[in-house]
């Protein structure tokens, strides 16, 4: 069982984050989930459901929404400084920010740890653990690109959700699964969402 911190921010692309959450939990992994207030707005806009503000209520909602899973889910508030991933003594195995706003990306690149997402990402970088950033914006400005390069130099993996089409997707879900499968590959998590090239 891997321990993965998953952060959802207010960028468009929440279906990627939700599918990643579902796949990790059904794959038997421990997920520490944290999300922004803007992500709550995007959930309503893109997926037509409400992300509760209280972590306990959110955990119950996800159990009902996802159904049975063998993993573990723990949700933390954006200012919960006692959360495990806020310290280098308990960072977990990896972290994914999916989707990631340019504001969050900028804070992480600048080392501005003023909330749990930015602090957890900072911890992953300093502890040399896997940090995957899934930036969702179009087009990227020079500032965005410079921040991504800065994070890449610091050890983060930058994975814009750019799906391939060589697998002949038949639905939006197929396109989402392509991106999530690539994230899972970089987490070292077995996945059956998409066949690997040449198989």
**Which carries the bigger pLDDT value, residue 145 or residue 166?**
145
Q: What pLDDT score was predicted for residue 197?
A: 84
Q: What pLDDT score was predicted for residue 88?
A: 95
Q: How confident is the model at residue 199 (pLDDT cuts 50, 70, 90)?
A: confident
Q: What pLDDT score was predicted for residue 198?
A: 80
Q: Give residue 150's Cα distance to chain centre.
A: 19
Would the pLDDT of 14 be above 90? yes
Order of all β-strands in the sheet with 130-135: 72-76, 30-35, 3-8, 94-100, 130-135, 157-158
CATH superfamily of 3-187: Flavin prenyltransferase-like (3.40.50.1950)
Q: What pLDDT score was predicted for residue 190?
A: 93
Q: What pLDDT score was predicted for residue 21?
A: 98
Q: Whose CA is closest to 158, among 97, 104, 111, 110? A: 97
Q: What pLDDT score was predicted for residue 109?
A: 98
Written as six digits, the tokens of 150 are: 């800065």
Q: How confident is the model at residue 195 (pLDDT cuts 50, 70, 90)?
A: confident
Q: What pLDDT score was predicted for residue 196?
A: 83
Question: What is the spatial distance between Cα 127 and Cα 115, in angstroms, rounded to a whole number?
Answer: 18
Domain extent listing, the chain: 3-187
DSSP assignment letter at 81: T
Q: Whose CA is closest to 66, among 121, 21, 10, 15? A: 21
Tens digits of per-residue pLDDT, 120-165?
A: 999 999 999 999 999 999 999 999 999 999 999 999 999 999 999 9
Percentage with pLDDT > 90 across the chain: 96
Is residue 26 within 8 A of residue 70, CB to CB? The reply is yes
Query: In the chain, which ranges are E strands?
Result: 3-8, 30-35, 72-76, 94-100, 130-135, 157-158
Tens digits of per-residue pLDDT, 106-119?
A: 999 999 999 999 99
Tens digits of per-residue pLDDT, 56-102?
A: 999 999 999 999 999 999 999 999 999 999 999 999 999 999 999 99
């Amino acid at each position: 069982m891997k321990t993965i911190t998953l952060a959802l921010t207010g960028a468009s692309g929440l279906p990627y984050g939700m599918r990643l959450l579902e796949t990790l939990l059904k794959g038997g992994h421990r997920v520490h989930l944290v999300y922004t207030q803007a992500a709550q707005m995007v959930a309503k806009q893109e997926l037509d459901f409400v992300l509760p503000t209280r972590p306990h209520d959110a955990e119950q909602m996800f159990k009902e929404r996802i159904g049975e899973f063998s993993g573990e889910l723990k949700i933390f508030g954006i200012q919960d400084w006692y959360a495990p991933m806020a310290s280098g003594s308990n960072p977990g195995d990896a972290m994914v920010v999916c989707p990631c706003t340019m504001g969050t990306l900028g804070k992480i690149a600048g080392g501005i740890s003023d909330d749990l997402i930015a602090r957890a990402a900072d911890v992953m970088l300093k502890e040399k653990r896997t940090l995957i950033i899934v930036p969702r914006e179009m087009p990227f400005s020079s500032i965005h690109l410079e921040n991504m390069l800065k994070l890449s130099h610091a050890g983060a993996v930058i994975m814009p959700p750019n799906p391939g089409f060589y697998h002949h997707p038949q639905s939006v879900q197929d396109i989402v699964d392509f991106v999530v499968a690539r994230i899972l590959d970089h987490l070292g998590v077995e996945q059956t969402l998409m066949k690997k090239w040449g198989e």
